Chains A and B, each alone.
Chain A
């Protein structure tokens, strides 16, 4: 893969994926959709780490381990987020962020 594809192409793909995730984070109202946008953002960051590791420091494994830990933390984050969403659904019968305004006066 190294001589055929420049690093910039991988970086362009991961940047676009990151900002598509940011767009989803800003526009979606459903809590699950917001969670999925977060996963897109985390995935783009991991891809960026791995690409820089592969192209610039192939003899080391820092980026690889960062991506591995990002995957592990994303799993923990998704588990807690889904537990919170289920608890919210029990209380409000909705997963729409606009219906959850209990603390607003």
Chain B
């Protein structure tokens, strides 16, 4: 059952990514991106990283996609068709992407020393929370605090940038 589920998720991811970058309607592209993000969360669930999958669903699928859809509706609306990509440009971009894919996969398969292991794991919410506030060897206290400052800065910056026009 599980391998089948993984390949279904992989197919949804690849099809959804291709449709996201090729759909000529922005709202549809956003919905295809939503499918990709939900399928990625499904792969995280298959790996038993349930907290990460839940964060992916709430933040990415629930937060960012809704934000993008709201902003698209506020600016260009839903009906506009995007212009077609020029043939030369598309060919060059495909060439660059295929070259990059082949380079990455070739370097992965050339390094043939990966040793997958099965050991008892603990990725429960309790373990994640303890690691987030720990300053020890496998603690993430500093990045946790830094990202809270980053989120505050991003929030203030977003408000100031978006309402600059109203002040002047």
Assembled-state Cα–Cα distance A20/B40 (Å) = 15
Question: Size of chain A's interface in residues, with CB distance under 8 A?
Answer: 74
Question: Size of chain B's interface in residues, with CB distance under 8 A?
Answer: 84
Contact A87–B36 (Cβ < 8 Å): no
Contact A73–B43 (Cβ < 8 Å): no
Q: Give A98's nearest chain B residue, CB to CB.
A: B83
Interface string of B90-101 (1 = CB under 8 A from A): 101110111011
Contact A11–B21 (Cβ < 8 Å): no
Query: Which residues of B have CB within 8 Å of A28?
Result: 21, 82, 85
Query: Which residues of B have CB within 8 Å of A6?
Result: 116
Given A17-B36, A20-B97, A83-B161 in contact, is the A58-B121 Cβ separation under 8 Å? yes
What's the least CB distance linking A44 to chain B, in Å?
A: 8
Query: Which residues of B have CB within 8 Å of A21?
Result: 17, 21
Query: Which residues of A have CB within 8 Å of B150?
Result: 72-73, 76
What's the least CB distance linking A23 to chain B, in Å?
A: 4
Contact A86–B74 (Cβ < 8 Å): yes
Query: Which residues of B have CB within 8 Å of A30?
Result: 26, 76, 82
Determine whether B119 belongs to the interface, using a CB cutoff of 8 Å to chain A. yes
What's the least CB distance linking A89 to chain B, in Å?
A: 5
Assembled-state Cα–Cα distance A2/B30 (Å) = 32
Q: Which A residues are within 8 Å of any B CB, using their own CB? A: 1-13, 15-24, 26-30, 32-33, 35-37, 39-40, 43, 46-47, 50-51, 54-62, 64-65, 67-69, 71-80, 82-87, 89-91, 95
In the complex, 12 of the A-B residue pairs with CB atoms within 8 angstroms, ordered by the A residue number, are A22-B93, A30-B82, A33-B21, A36-B29, A40-B17, A40-B21, A62-B138, A69-B147, A74-B60, A79-B155, A82-B158, A84-B161
